[in-house]
Amino acid sequence: MKSLTRATRILDNVRLSQSCKNITGFRNMANIKAQYKKAITFENLNPNIVRLEYAVRGPLYLRVLEIEQELKDGVEKPFNKVIKANAGDAQAMGQIPISFIRQVLVCVSYPEMIETSNFSKDVKERAREILDACVGNSIGSYSIAVGIESIRKSVANFIEKRDGYKANWRDICLTAGASAGIKNCLELLINDIEGKPSGVMIPIPQYPLYSASLAEYGLKQVDYYLDESKNWALTIEELDRALLDGSKDCKVRALVVINPGNPTGQVLTRDNIENIIKFAYKHSLMIFADEVYQQNIFEGEFHSFKKVLVELGAPYNQVEVVSFMSTSKGFMGECGLRGGWMEIVNMEPKVQANLYKCMSAKLCASTLGQAVVDCVARPPQEGDASYEQYVQERDNVLESLNIRAKMIEELFNNMEGFRCNVVQGAMYAFPRIELSGKAIEAAKKAGQEPDVFYAFRLLEATGICVVPGSGFGQEPGTYHFRTTILPQMDLLREMVDSFQKFHQKFTQEFS
Amino acid sequence: MKSLTRATRILDNVRLSQSCKNITGFRNMANIKAQYKKAITFENLNPNIVRLEYAVRGPLYLRVLEIEQELKDGVEKPFNKVIKANAGDAQAMGQIPISFIRQVLVCVSYPEMIETSNFSKDVKERAREILDACVGNSIGSYSIAVGIESIRKSVANFIEKRDGYKANWRDICLTAGASAGIKNCLELLINDIEGKPSGVMIPIPQYPLYSASLAEYGLKQVDYYLDESKNWALTIEELDRALLDGSKDCKVRALVVINPGNPTGQVLTRDNIENIIKFAYKHSLMIFADEVYQQNIFEGEFHSFKKVLVELGAPYNQVEVVSFMSTSKGFMGECGLRGGWMEIVNMEPKVQANLYKCMSAKLCASTLGQAVVDCVARPPQEGDASYEQYVQERDNVLESLNIRAKMIEELFNNMEGFRCNVVQGAMYAFPRIELSGKAIEAAKKAGQEPDVFYAFRLLEATGICVVPGSGFGQEPGTYHFRTTILPQMDLLREMVDSFQKFHQKFTQEFS
């Protein structure tokens, strides 16, 4: 068939060239034809974009989309659905949205509902307040680039309550999720300093938005390793080593800390944060405090970098910190609505003005996402009509996540060849797997990293999609994967069961 | 007052240094103190971001925000409100949202409404279809980066109906407004070719997202001038000139065309588009077809680049085109909800795969914005319960815009010293003003461009905010400004009146 097609094509070309001889002018056209070259080819494409990788939506995820189509098309599989344990996407896994948030969205989207619906008084009041703060009293108008003023004030209040210290609403920017803010701030660093590119320290394992964005912006990635043997601790010794090492070929200017950790699930102690701030101080580094999981704490206590910075006092309270938060995580899990914020601390005013200017060309983050931010930053209070339902819904989610965090950790620690640290926070477990020489050999033959090989096999056999550790980075010679704790309880049990069976078979096959 | 504050501060410092002498260890701390330098200063900030300018939200707009605060604080002004004729933001200026869109948003945000509301059957069906297409049947989950599949299919159908030719849904990406898509595609071009930076041809006057993004990405801006004397015509002679000129210091790889024009309001003829495509073909340029105002046509007819490309046939149908569309414009004006799409034509598959990969790190555009896209691409059809209301609302907006377009053009052409081309499409008039030598002199003294000087004076005297022509680019020695046609009829009349009075006074003052 293939050769026939090819033959037909060759034949067509012959016919074409014969007929051309008879047509005057066609030769010119043929010349023109030869002229066109694609403006963008793989060869002349922005090389940073070629380098960029984002494992959470990488080749494994593309295969998931294919498998889902195959299932729809009736292709037989050893499973009847894909379990997407790859992304921190709670509602995709059946989590119920918080009613208060959604009711406010209804009312701001369709203000008639403020009059006609039977939603609580506080819902309606909130909607009215948000609309009053919108230009032309409509959620359909642009806000200023850094977000609706009253919502920035809500966020400042949230932070003040959380930390016990002043937050300036002018230093709050509302962003489309945390990612947009992180990228905006990383972009500030693109510049050669003393002939060297700027470098940014990131944890390994890390959330791959960081490696992807650093690649995209041509910034140097300086890896510091979290200590798996100490529950993914962040040690100053390792920061020192990484800085020294990284400084050879770049000017290190910033330090990313993800707390609670993604994919690693650890929660930093206050002491640890103090030392990190002192380290940043000593080396004049800006801290990117990725605190999007601040409401997902199962063990220990969350301390914001901002709070510890203030409490440390002079001279350490001069350190530049940007803290990022998202409405996609926590107990609301409103990933699709793209709400988020960043709090900017100690940034040089001129730099901050330039950041705001740069954001303004992109107009604004979704105003509905901003409305979600308002609900998260200023939830119903005791005495409000929505309060009880809100608390119940919130606590249901958080308690269930707590149980699932422990359940998944136990599961892996009970499986031969697995070792999993305590999931203290966030939404992920990042267990380590021992892979046999034979399995590693087989992966090599397949042209895959051993953990990628394992994850593909798991997916094809069970429909479970996890993300291989190599997408986050890991100590050479070790293998991990990230799984979310987000499948609802029944599904999680089913996943656990099917995972165990797969692993036994896999171990047998490659023993 | 100022000197007192300063004095107090100096005094505090003296006291501090005296007390320090008595504290052991403080000397060390003082040493550490001297150590900290900001990681990002104005001097080492990404220089592209310093260069970036976005006039629509520039210094004039910042002054608007101040004035609004002053009005709130009771400061006396010769006006009682600001008329924001600076931004293409219909709902900010009182335009009523399309009910169908908002009702669908209500139902997808709060699925209970599908059962309990008295919205039409087609609204509810639509909401159900969108939710069925969401992961986990929730609008709160992430979509894939290029958007919800069924909505990409709606867009493809819309384009097929519009043009009469096939559109492939896999080549449709849903974006956060048009801006996000434009930036994603421009980013592909960042690369030196044969030792030269990549260049992009943009019209002058242009929408400043382009100049801002080119500056941000370090791409060379190659200006081609629209011919004001021929109603902002785009001539091939001028494209040739600009290309030749621009090619001296960059490799020109793309051509931006804004049709209907922003800020210029012209609608390109089919002939003109043919010639532009042939030009792009001849010089291997990718066309950025900014077609966000395709539904805002008052005179002439809209021809999409895609359609003309297909009809031109071989060899011209090989040209790479990306067409951008937004739900912020048209008759819906849902600016805050950040919906948009791009259709990618003839892009090298590997390049397109890399574009999609790069988008995936940003997760996805707002799913609610995507839902708006679905409503715009697939509006109620004859026979649907919402149809009549939808048509009425749509036509009300479009007819009113049509009247306002003519009204504003006439206004300016009746004012001495003004000349305004026909507003054939989009939402803006871009009249030219003659400024006297004295006015230009006064502007120079104030350290401002003459049109900026005029616009500031207009704002302070009347509360009317327009954008000076220098923000869009204009022939040297000519002065313009952009005003939207979006103020509702009564407000527009008020604005027109107050504008005329101001202009008379201004002319007298500087004659």
Taking only the tens place, the pLDDT of each residue in A106-138 is 999 999 999 999 999 999 999 999 999 999 999
| Model pLDDT for residues B346-395, shown as the tens digit of each residue | 999 999 999 999 998 888 999 999 999 999 999 999 999 999 999 999 99
In chain B, which among 433-462 make CB contacts under 8 A with chain A? none
- Judged by DSSP in three states, A486 sits in coil
Give the number of beta-carbon pairs within 8 Å between A and B: 309
Q: Tell me: pLDDT of B224 over 70.
A: yes
User: Is the CB of residue A338 less than 8 Å from the CB of residue A177?
Assistant: yes
Q: Tell me: pLDDT of B59 over 90.
A: no
Give the C-alpha separation, B255 to A256, whole Å: 38
| Model pLDDT for residues B254-302, shown as the tens digit of each residue | 999 999 999 999 999 999 999 999 999 999 999 999 999 999 999 999 9
Give the C-alpha separation, B172 to B378, whole Å: 15
What pLDDT is stored for residue A327 in this prediction?
97
Give the C-alpha separation, A494 to A463, whole Å: 11
- Residue B417's region, left for phi above 0, alpha for psi from -120 to 50, else beta, is left
What pLDDT is stored for residue A387 in this prediction?
97
Per-residue confidence at B22, pLDDT binned at 50, 70, 90?
Answer: very low
What pLDDT is stored for residue A184 in this prediction?
96
Of residues B46, B90, B335, nearest to A187 (C-beta):
B46
CA nearest to A429, candidates A441, A418, A440, A444: A418
Q: Tell me: pLDDT of B230 over 60.
A: yes
| Model pLDDT for residues B103-153, shown as the tens digit of each residue | 999 999 999 999 999 999 999 999 999 999 999 999 999 999 999 999 999
What pLDDT is stored for residue B15 in this prediction?
37
Per-residue confidence at A65, pLDDT binned at 50, 70, 90?
Answer: confident
In chain B, which among 102-141 make CB contacts under 8 A with chain A? 102-103, 105-106, 109-110, 113, 134-136, 138-141
| Model pLDDT for residues B170-214, shown as the tens digit of each residue | 999 999 999 999 999 999 999 999 899 999 999 999 999 999 999
CA angle B394, B397, B401 (to 5 degrees): 140
In chain A, which among 312-341 make CB contacts under 8 A with chain B? 314-315, 318-320, 328, 333-338
Q: What is the separation, in whole angstroms, between the first and last Cα of chain A?
A: 42
Tell the burial category of A291 from Cβ atoms under 10 Å away from its Cβ (0-12, 13-18, 19+).
Answer: buried
What pLDDT is stored for residue B9 in this prediction?
40
Mean pLDDT of chain B: 90
Q: Tell me: pLDDT of B16 over 50.
A: no
CA distances in angstroms from A357 to A363, A367, B406, listed in the order given: 10, 19, 34
Per-residue confidence at A2, pLDDT binned at 50, 70, 90?
Answer: very low
Over residues B66-89, mean pLDDT: 92
% chain A with pLDDT above 70: 93
Query: pTM of the prediction?
Result: 0.90
What pLDDT is stored for residue A417 in this prediction?
87
B445: number of Cβ within 10 Å: 9
Find the DSSP H helices in A341-386: 349-360, 367-377
In chain B, which among 8-37 make CB contacts under 8 A with chain A? 29, 32-33, 35-37
Residue partners of B88: CB distance under 8 A and separation at least 6: B262, B328, B329, B335, B426, B427, B428, B484, B486
Give the C-alpha separation, B76 to A466, whole Å: 63
Give the C-alpha separation, B86 to B68, whole Å: 15
Instruction: Give the phi and the psi of residue A340 in degrees, each rounded to 5.
Output: -175, 170
Of residues B91, B284, B364, nearest to A141 (C-beta):
B91
| Model pLDDT for residues B325-335, shown as the tens digit of each residue | 999 999 999 99
Give the C-alpha separation, B239 to B205, whole Å: 14
Give the C-alpha separation, B289 to B203, whole Å: 12
Mean pLDDT of chain A: 90
| Model pLDDT for residues A418-445, shown as the tens digit of each residue | 999 999 999 999 999 999 999 999 999 9
Residue partners of A224: CB distance under 8 A and separation at least 6: A201, A202, A203, A204, A234, A238, A239, A241, A242
Give the C-alpha separation, B439 to B455, whole Å: 12
Over residues A14-28, mean pLDDT: 40
The complex scores an ipTM of 0.89
Say whether A92 and B142 touch across the interface (CB within 8 A): yes
Q: What is the CA radius of gyration of chain B?
A: 26
Q: Tell me: pLDDT of A79 over 70.
A: yes
Per-residue confidence at A34, pLDDT binned at 50, 70, 90?
Answer: low
Residue bearing the bigger pLDDT, A310 or B32? A310
Closest alpha carbon within chain B to A372: B140
Of residues A50, A351, A367, nearest to B336 (C-beta):
A367
Chain A residues closer than 8 Å to B89 by CB: 135-136, 141-142
- Give, as one character, the DSSP assignment of residue B120: -
Residue that has been written with the tokens 């069976």 in this structure:
A501
What pLDDT is stored for residue B36 in this prediction?
86
User: Is the CB of residue B104 less than 8 Å from the CB of residue B126?
Assistant: yes
Chain B residues closer than 8 Å to A254 by CB: 39
Q: Tell me: pLDDT of A1 over 50.
A: no
Over residues A140-147, mean pLDDT: 94
Q: Tell me: pLDDT of B317 over 50.
A: yes
CA distances in angstroms from A296 to A196, A227, A300, B77, B323, listed in the order given: 39, 21, 11, 50, 42
| Model pLDDT for residues A320-375, shown as the tens digit of each residue | 999 999 999 999 999 999 999 999 999 999 999 999 999 988 889 999 999 999 99
Residues in chain B: 511
